Amino acid sequence: MRRIDVLHKPFKSFSGWKRRTRLKRVDGFQIVLIALLSVLAVFMLLPIVYIVNHAFKPYHELFVYPPNFIVREPTLQNFTELFVVASNLTVPLSRYLFNSIVIAVIAVIGVTLVSAMCAYPISKHKFPGHKLVFAVIILTLMFAPEVMQIPRYLAVSHLGIMNTYWGHILPLLAMPVGVFLLKQFIDQLPNELLEAAKIDGAGEFLIFLRVVIPVCMPAVATVAILTFQSSWGNVETSSLFMQDDEMKNFPFFLTTLTNNQANIVARQGAAAAAALIMFVPNLLIFLFLQGKVIATMAHSGIK
């Protein structure tokens, strides 16, 4: 009997392997779906491919008609032109980049904390009028950015933060989208988890830092990406609140490359190179945190 069992074991394992492979088999609908998604992914990659190729095109390819999607004679002349233009300015290019990096880093940290500290009490403490407060926050999403320019300018002017980094950062701290995403994510946290932390002696601030924020990291990462994109490419604060060129950021410098030119050809190569420099940080940040973004959109919550 033992010998028969031993002989039958390989056949049993083979049949189990066959069942597992049958479960993993892809049907026709999934094949079609994968093919469609692959085509869509390639289509969405086209702008990225274009902006990278555009930065390395020589001038005779920048203005050729019909335009070339892929660069045929790549060159670094556009980047050389960018640094030549920057060297002739009263403010060095490194100053614009430094301002943009400082503004983006502080804005990401500030918006994430402010949005989380606003979303947590609305979601879990249910104070009187919390629904009205959240409704007002959602209502602000309906306002166009142009409507807020004059009130924002008056607020910054009366606070006396013109020509300072705070003039760049404070207008960005109020981010209704961040509050909405974090509030919806915190709603999924079980109250029993917070009660257990209180029984262990944790205060509200400790619960917020050690329980709420770590569990909501996917939503925090999403808010960080959105904040970085809005602050890194923001031109409004430099145009409206900054009179000194030393306090303006890199996106503002990018807009001045082709302004006040006698023709539309001059400095287009430098503008293409600067556009690639502006795009690369956004791409890297998204690729680094894209897993968290997918988890947020799927409303994963606690596993």
* pLDDT at residue 214 greater than cutoff 80: yes
Alpha-carbon distance values, 205 to 189, 191, 286 (Å): 16, 16, 30
Question: Looking at residue 9, what is its pLDDT?
Answer: 47
User: What value does the mean pLDDT take over residues 179-193?
Assistant: 86
In tens, the pLDDT along 115-166 reads 999 999 998 888 888 889 888 888 888 887 778 888 888 888 898 888 889 9
Look-up: residue for tokens 């420099």?
A: 277
Confidence of residue 260 (pLDDT cuts 50, 70, 90): low
Q: How confident is the model at residue 109 (pLDDT cuts 50, 70, 90)?
A: very high
For the entire predicted model, the pTM comes to 0.77
pLDDT at 270: 83
CA gap 133, 83 in Å, rounded: 49
Cα separations in angstroms, 75 against 56, 80, 195: 5, 10, 62
Q: In b/e form, how buried is each residue of 48-80, taking b as 16+ CB within 10 angstroms?
A: eeebebbbbbeeebbeeeeeeeebeeeeeebbe
pLDDT, tens only, 13-69: 545 544 555 445 667 788 888 889 889 988 888 888 888 888 888 888 888 778 778
Does a cis peptide bond (omega within 30 degrees of 0) precede residue 66?
yes
Q: Is the pLDDT of residue 178 over 80?
A: yes
Asked if 146 and 240 touch (Cβ cutoff 8 Å), the reply is no
Domains annotated for the chain, with CATH where assigned, are 2-55 (no CATH), 81-297 (1.10.3720.10)
Question: Average of pLDDT values for 216-244?
Answer: 87
Measure the CA–CA gap between 116 and 199, rounded to whole angstroms. Answer: 23
